Structure 1
Amino acid sequence: MNKLPASGPPHTKKSSGVKSGDRDGQGYRKCLAHIRVKKHLGWFNIYCKNTSLHGFRYISMDGSSIIESVLWFMVCILSIVFCVILMLRLWANYSNNPIVTTIYTSNPIWDVSFPAVTICNNNKVYRPHADLMAKNLYMDGFTTNDSDKFFSSLVKLVRPDKISIDNTIARQFLDRLDITVETLMEQLMQPCSALLLRCVWIGKIYDCSKIFKTIKSKEGFCCAFNYHYNLNGHISNDFNTNDFNNTSDDLPGVHTILKAPGSGRDVGLAVALNIEPDMYKATSRPFVGASVIIHDPIDFPDIGAHITTVPIGHVMAISITGTSIRGMESLRTIPLEKRLCYFDDEMPGEIRYSHQSCISDCIAKHIHHMCDCLPFYYPEAHKGMKTCYLSDINCLLSIRKSIPHHANTETCKKCLPQCTDMLYTINPEYVKMENVGFDSDLIHGFNINNMSFVYVFFGDVSYVEYRKESTISWDSLLASFGGIFGLCLGGSVLSVIELVYLLARQLFRRQKKMLKCQKQSRMKLPPASKMFLSIPIKEKVQRKL
C-alpha cells in the first residue's frame, strides 16, 4: 500500500490559516476603531482650539479638568439653544406679520384723483317718453290702465319688489315695443341734457352734455362725470395728467382722470339739477329728488360706492376725504397668500385692477347662475346673457339673502383688494334754499324752488396715506440672524465656513484611511488554497483507508 508522503498533519495548515485570518480581521477592526476614536475626539478638539466662536476653546484647553470641560460644554450648548430660539422667534414674526403699515399725513390733496360723480334722478320713467310709448301701445289694443301698471312695474327692475302686472301681459308689452329691456329703460330715463342744466368745474362753466355721459349703475341709467370705467380695465395713457387749467377746447373728465388743485367748494364740481317733479311716472324712492354716487373713476358704481340723495329745492355740499393705500415694491417679494393683494400689472390684460369691480362681476355671475338672467344695469361684459325682466323679479327677490353669503365663498374671495388703492369718504350736508338775494354763476336765472344744487369738493388740503411694505427685507433678515449669532456665540459667516470645512476635511481623511486599511488587510491575507485545500484532501484519504 502506497503511503502518503510525510508531511505535517493537514489540520495544522487549516488551524494556522484560520488564526492568520483572525489576526488580520482583528487588525482591520482595530484600525477602524482607531480611526473612529480619532474621528470623534480629534476633529472636535482641533475645532474647539481653533474656532472663532467664544467659549469653545475652554472645552479642550490643556490642563483643564473634566469638570471644567463639561461645564464649558454645557454653557456652549445653552448658548446654541438660546441662539436657535431667538432665530425661530424672529422667523415666526416675519412669517406671521410680513407687512408693516406706515401712516403719512402731510400729503397734498392735488396728488389725489378726483372721484367720479354719478347723478341719478329717482324717477325711472320719464313721463313724456312714457306717454309717447303708451300712445303707440293704445293703438295696438292696450288700455291706459294696463300701460300705467306696466310703467310702474318697470322700476322693480332697479329695486326688486312685488309687481302688479301679470307676467304674460308684461311679455306682450315688450314684444309689441320690439326692443330689449336695456333699451327700454334707457329710453324711459330722464335725459342728461334735461336733468343737468348748468355745470361748473373749478369756477368755469361747461356744457353739461359734453362733460357728463350716460352710464349704467346700480340705480339704473344715470349721468356720470369723470367716469373712466370700461370692461377691460384700460384707462387713458394720460391718467396722471393734471387738468387744472382748461382751455375752451378742454373737456374736464372726458379724456383724463381729473385732479383738483385744492380744497373747498370753489375748487371742485358744482351742478344745477332740474329734478322735474311733474314728469314723475315711476320712482325708485318715495320722494322727489336725485341720488348722487361718489366712487373711484375706474370702478363700476356698485360695490363700495357712496350714495346720498338731494331733495328738490335744496343745496347739497358733499365734502370728500381721500385716503390712499400705497403698496411699496418690497411687497412683491411676499407671497400672494400672505400679502393678500394684487398689483395692477399682476392681472393679465388690465392696466388697473379694481377690487370693487371684481366683486360686482362675481355677484353678477351668481345672479345669472341662480336666475338664468342678469339685471339690465350690469356692464356689457356679460353680453349674450339673458336680461332679467318682470317675470324674473320673484327669483331676484328669493336670492337676495344668498348674495352676501356668495360674496364670502372661495369664488369671490379670489377678488383680493388692490395693493395700491384710493378710498373716498363723504360728509354730505344739505339745507333748504331761501330767496335771500344770493346770486352766483351756478344759480343765476333759476327758480331755486324747482331746482337742486350739488357741490362736490375735497374738504381738506391734505390726505392720509397708508404705505404698506415688507416688515424686513431678505438682506435685513439675514443681517438680523447674523446679529443674533454674534450675540449668542460671537460667530460670523467665517465660523460656519470653518465648521463645514473641518467636517468635510475630516470626512475625506477618514475615507482615505479606511481605504488604506482595506488595502493593507487584503495584502496580509494568505491565499485561499493554503487556508482551505487541506480539509477536503484529509477527508478523501480517510475514505480510502
Structure 2
Amino acid sequence: MGGSTCRQHLLSTAEVGIGSDAHKRSLHHQQSAFTSLDCSSDISDMKLSSNNRSQYVRQNSGDSFGCCNCLVERCTGRGRQQDNSLYRNVFWSVIVFASVVSGGFFLHDNTSEFLKSTVQTTLDSMVPLSQVLFPSVVVCNINQIRKSFFNELGFFENETLVRIMYEDFIKGTKDNSDSSNYTGLGTENDEQHDLKRKEFYEVLKSYLISRNISVNKSIIWQSHQSCDDMFIYSKWNSSTTWTHGENKRDFGTDYGICCWYTPQLNFSAIPYGPDTDWNYWFGTVTKGAKTGKDNGFSVLFDIESYDYGYYDEGSEGLKVAINHHLDMPIMRQRAFHVAPGTENQIPITPTLYTANRQVLSRFTPTQRDCYQEHEIDLMYLPKSRGYRYEMSNCLFEAAFEQILEVCDCAPGFHMEGGDLAIKKYQVCMGAKLACSNEILNRMGQYNLVMDTVDNQTKECLSNCEDQMNDFFVTTSLYPNKKTFKDREEFCILGRKLLTSTCAGYKRLPLESTFPELCTALESLPDFLYQCRTNRWHRERIQDKQVALKIENEIYEYARSNLAIINIFIKEPYSKRFRKTEKMSRIAYIASSGGLLGLCMGFSFVSLAEIIYHLFICVSLFFKKSSQKAKMKKRRRGCRGYS
C-alpha cells in the first residue's frame, strides 16, 4: 500500500460520521489490523471514545503518513522473515535427516558386528603351579618285533618267516590268506612260499594257545619289548621306584605297544582287568606340580638294541610322547626320538586354556570353537574308560571310525575302549592292516565323530578347558666311563642281565652282539652279593681281572642300550589364556549409545521423549478422527431434520 493511498484512507475515515455503526465497525477493524501489525504509533489506543478517536486522527493527521510507513515496513519485513524461516526449516531438515541416516547406518553396522562376533583368546594371567597337572609319559621302543620272539617260536634265523610276520602283522602289506601274492625271497616259488606261510601260522597258533592268548588278538602284544624289560628304575619327587609295576602299564598306540607312565599313580594298586574303572583311578590324579629337576620324573630305560628284529625304522632308541593322562597318545605325530647312550633333559612349559562363563552360556560349541566335557562323549574313547574329550582324542576317534567303515576291521592295538569294536570286527591283518595304517598315517584329515550324548555326528573341536605342554630336549652322553661303576644303576643293570637276560630266550641275540657279557657275569659267582646294596666295590673282589672285565662289559652294554629321560616343570608359574567375547552385550549397548549420541544426541531420555510424543500424536489422531466422525453424524442428523 503506497503512502498517498494510506493518507487518503485515513483522512476519509476521519470525515465519516463519528456516531454511525458503520464507522465504529470500520475503526474497530483498523484497530485490530494495526494492533496485529504491532505498529510503533499510538493507534493501538483507538479504544478511546469516538470523539476522541476523531480528534486523535485530526491532530495526528501529519503522523498518519509515518504510521502508514510503519505498516509498509512491517509488511515487507514479514515477507523477509517468511523467506528466512523457509531456509532455516530446509537446513535443519537436512541436518536431522542426515543425522538419522548416519545414526541408522552406524547402528546397523554395529549390530551386524555384534551378531557376527564370537570369541577371542587373550592372555588372562599367570597362575601358580598348583593349577597345573604334571603330564604322563608314553614310551615306545622303536623296535616292535623282538628277535628273541622268533627264538621262542623256534625259527630265530629263518628270514622268510620273519618277513611273513612283519608283512602280515606289523606293516600289513600283504594278505595273510593262502592266496597271498607275497613271493618271499627271490629263490622261493609260490608252492614253497605257501608251505612256509602255513608252517608259520601253525607255529604261531600253537604258541598263542600254549600261553592262553586269543588267536584273534594282535600279535604285536607278544612281539614287542615288554615294559618290565625296558624299565630299570624311576624317580619321582626325589623318591626312587625299583618295581616297574608301580608306575606303568602296557598300552596300545597307533605306533605299536608302548609303556605308559603316570608318576602320580601306583599302578600296582589298581586291579587291572577288563572291568577296571580307569575313569575312577585317573580321576584321583590331582592338580599340583613343582618346578625343577629334583621335583620331576626321571626314568632309566634299557632299549635292548641287540634284540632288534626287522622293522621299517632304520634307527634305534625310543619314541617318547609327553601326554595328558586322559588322552590317547598319537605317537606317529607327537613323539620324539631318544637315542641310546644319552641322558635327556626335557623341561616342560605348561599353558592353560579356559573360557569365561558368558562365552559358555551365550555361544554354541561351533561359535565358540570348543566343547565342554558334558556336551560330547566319544564312542571308542569314552570317559568311562579313562579318557576325556580333547581335539587329538577326537581326531583319533575319527580315524578309528574311518578304519571300521573303510577297512572293515578293528586295529588290534586299541584295547582300552576299542575292545567294543573288536567284538564286532576282525583284528586288522594283512591287506586290511595296510588299509588301517594308511588311514592312521593321514590322521587329521578326518574330523567327524559319533557323539554318544546326542547320538549324532559332530565335528571335532578343541576342549574349552585344556592344558598344553610345550617342551624342548637337550642331550648329553651317558654313561660316563670313569664314574659309571660307582653309580647304583651299574649294579641294577648287571643284576638284570645276569638273572633275566642271560637266563632266558634273549641270551642268543644278546651273545650275537655282546658275546662275552654273560660269560663275564657268570665268572663271578657272588656278583649278586657284591651288589646287594646297589654299590659296586672292586676292592672287595680278589680277582681284579674278572672285576675289570665285568666293568668293561657292562659299560659297553650300557653305552649301547641305556637312556635316561628327566622330565620337569621349567617355570614356577604357568600362562593362562581365556576365551572371551569379542563384543559383550554391555559393550554393544555402550557402542550403540555412543554412535547414536554422536549422530543425534540420542540417550535414554531422548528415547522416552520420542515414545511420549508418539503416544501424544497417536492420541490426537484418534481424538480428531473421533471428532470428525461425530461432526459427520451431526450433519447427517441436521439434514434429516430439515
- Normalised by the length of structure 2, the TM-score is 0.60
1:328 lines up with 2:356 in the alignment: yes
User: CA separation in 1, counterparts of 2:447 and 2:231?
Assistant: 36
The residue number in structure 2 matching 1:194 is 229
Match of 2:417 among 380, 394, 412: 380
Structure 1: state its 5+ residue gaps: 1-60, 240-254, 531-545
Q: Kindly tell me: are residues 117 and 343 of structure 1, through their superposed partners in 2, closer, same or farther at Cα, counting changes over 3 Å?
A: same
- Compute the displacement of 1:201 (Å): 0.5
SS at match of 1:386: coil
Residue 385 and residue 441 in structure 1: after superposition, are their counterparts in 2 closer, same or farther (change >3 A)? Answer: same
Q: 2:110 aligns with which of 85, 90, 93?
A: 90
Aligned-pair distance for 1:212? 0.8
Pairwise CA distance, 1:224: 0.6
Contact 1:376 1:388 in 2 (8 A): yes
Structure 1 position 126, deviation (Å): 3.3
| C-alpha distance in structure 2 between counterparts of 1:401 and 1:201, whole Å | 34
Report which stretch shifted further, 390-399 or 358-367: 390-399
**Which residue in the other structure is 2:599 paired with?**
488
Q: 204, 220, 233: which is aligned to 2:239?
A: 204
- Between the aligned partners of 2:425 and 2:355, the Cα distance in structure 1 is 37
- Please tell me whether residue 340 in structure 1 is matched to residue 369 in structure 2: yes
Summarize deviations over 1:47-66 as a string: whole Å, max 9, x none.
xxxxxxxxxxxxxx999712
Aligned partner (choices 460, 463, 482) of residue 415 of structure 1: 460
Q: Which moved more, 1:454-463 or 1:168-177?
A: 168-177
Q: Which amino acid aligns with 2:583?
A: I
Q: Distance in 2 between matches of 1:518 and 1:190?
A: 102
* In structure 1, C-alpha distance between the alignment counterparts of 2:576 and 2:277, rounded to whole Å: 24
How far is the alpha carbon of 1:71 from its aligned partner? 1.2
Q: Could you tell me which amino acid in structure 2 is paired with residue 156 of structure 1?
A: I
Q: Alignment identity in percent?
A: 20
The whole-number CA distance in structure 2 between the counterparts of 1:171 and 1:498 is: 92
SS in 2 for 1:85: helix
Distance 1:453 1:164, change over 3 A: farther
How many residues align? The count is: 448
Among candidates 567, 580, 584, match of residue 469 of structure 1: 580
Corresponding residue number in structure 2 for 1:248: none
Give 1:395 deviation, angstroms: 3.1
Deviations 1:77-128 (A, max 9, x none): 2222332333334334434443233225643344321111011112223344
Inter-partner Cα distance in structure 2 for 1:368 and 1:326: 34
Residue aligning to 2:167: 153
Max Rg structure:
2
Quick one: distance in 2 between partners of 1:234 and 1:505?
A: 71
| Structure 2: runs of 5+ lacking an equivalent | 1-80, 176-180, 185-192, 266-273, 451-455, 494-553
SS in 2 for 1:312: coil
Write out aligned runs for 1:332-371 (5 A): 332=360, 333-347=362-376, 352-371=388-407
Q: 2:309 aligns with which of 274, 281, 294?
A: 281
**Structure 1 residue 267 displacement after superposition:** 2.0
Q: Distance in 2 between matches of 1:407 and 1:342?
A: 14
Aligned pairs (5 A) from 1:22-421: 65-104=85-124, 106-132=126-152, 134-135=153-154, 144=158, 147-153=161-167, 156-157=170-171, 169=198, 177=208, 179-206=214-241, 207-226=243-262, 235-236=279-280, 255-257=284-286, 259-262=288-291, 264-302=292-330, 306-332=334-360, 333-347=362-376, 352-378=388-414, 379-381=416-418, 382-383=420-421, 384-396=424-436, 405-407=445-447, 414-421=459-466
Give the match's secondary structure for 1:380: coil
What is the aligned partner in structure 2 of residue 437 from structure 1?
483
What residue number does 1:243 align with?
A: none
The whole-number CA distance in structure 1 between the counterparts of 2:622 and 2:146 is: 96
1:340 shift after superposition: 1.4
**Is the contact between residue 296 and residue 568 of structure 2 (CA under 8 Å) also seen in structure 1?**
yes
State the partner residue of 1:460. Answer: 571
> CA–CA distance in 2 between the matches of 1:292 and 1:158?
24
Distance in 1 between the 2:173 and 2:132 partners?
A: 34
In 2: Cα distance, 1:159 partner to 1:308 partner: 26
What SS is found at the alignment partner of 1:182? coil
User: Any idea what SS the aligned residue of 2:412 has?
Assistant: coil
CA contact (8 A) 2:399 2:440 kept: no
Paired AA for residue 306 in structure 1: R
Which one has a larger percent helix, Structure 1 or Structure 2? 2
Q: 1:461 to 1:284 in 2, by over 3 A?
A: farther
Q: Tell me what 1:16 maps to.
A: none
**How much has 1:304 moved relative to structure 2?**
9.2
Structure 2: which amino acid aligns with 1:356? S
Counterpart-to-counterpart distance in 2, 1:271 and 1:99? 42
Cα deviations by residue, 1:185-205 (Å, 9 ceiling, x for unpaired): 212222211111101112111
What is the CA–CA distance in structure 1 between the aligned matches of 2:225 and 2:281, rounded to whole Å? 33
Asked if structure 2 preserves the Cα contact closer than 8 Å seen for 1:312 and 1:451, the reply is yes
| 1:516 CA displacement | 4.3
Q: Deviations over 1:14-44 (max 9, x none)?
A: xxxxxxxxxxxxxxxxxxxxxxxxxxxxxxx
Name the CA shift for 1:225/1:400 in 2 (closer, same or farther; >3 Å).
closer
**CA shift digits 1:346-369 (9 cap, x unpaired):** 336859421111111011111221
Q: Offset of 1:479 from its aligned partner?
A: 2.6
Distance in 2, matches of 1:68 and 1:304, equals 78
CA gap of 1:329–1:187, structure 2 versus 1, over 3 A, is same
Q: Single out whichever of 268-277 and 467-476 deviates more from structure 2.
A: 467-476
Partner SS state of residue 270, structure 1: strand
Letter paired with 1:484 = L
Contact 2:297 2:567 survives alignment (8 Å): yes
Query: In the aligned structure 2, how far is the partner of 1:120 from the partner of 1:63?
Result: 95
Q: Distance in 2 between matches of 1:180 and 1:476?
A: 65
Verify the 8 A CA contact 2:230 2:302 in the aligned structure 1.
yes
1:156-177 per-position Cα deviation (integer Å, ceiling 9, x unaligned)? 2489999776797476666554
Task: Render the CA deviation track for 1:238-264: whole Å, top value 9, x for unaligned.
Answer: 85xxxxxxxxxxxxxxx41564211x3
Instruction: For CA contacts below 8 A with separation 6 or more, give which structure has more relative contact order.
Output: 1
Selected match of 1:427 from 464, 469, 472: 472
Confirm or deny: 8 A CA contact 2:169 2:218 kept in the other structure: no
Secondary structure (helix, strand or coil) at the match of 2:566 reads strand
Shift, 1:521, TM fit:
3.0
- Structure 1: how far apart are the matches of 2:487 and 2:237? 14
CA contact (8 A) 1:342 1:419 kept: yes
- In 2, are the aligned partners of 1:101 and 1:469 still within 8 Å (CA)? yes
Contact 1:359/1:412, CA 8 A, preserved across alignment: no
Distance 1:97 1:75, change over 3 A: same
Is the contact between residue 158 and residue 220 of structure 1 (CA under 8 Å) also seen in structure 2? no
- Cα RMSD (Å) of the superposition? 4.1
* Inter-partner Cα distance in structure 2 for 1:286 and 1:84: 69
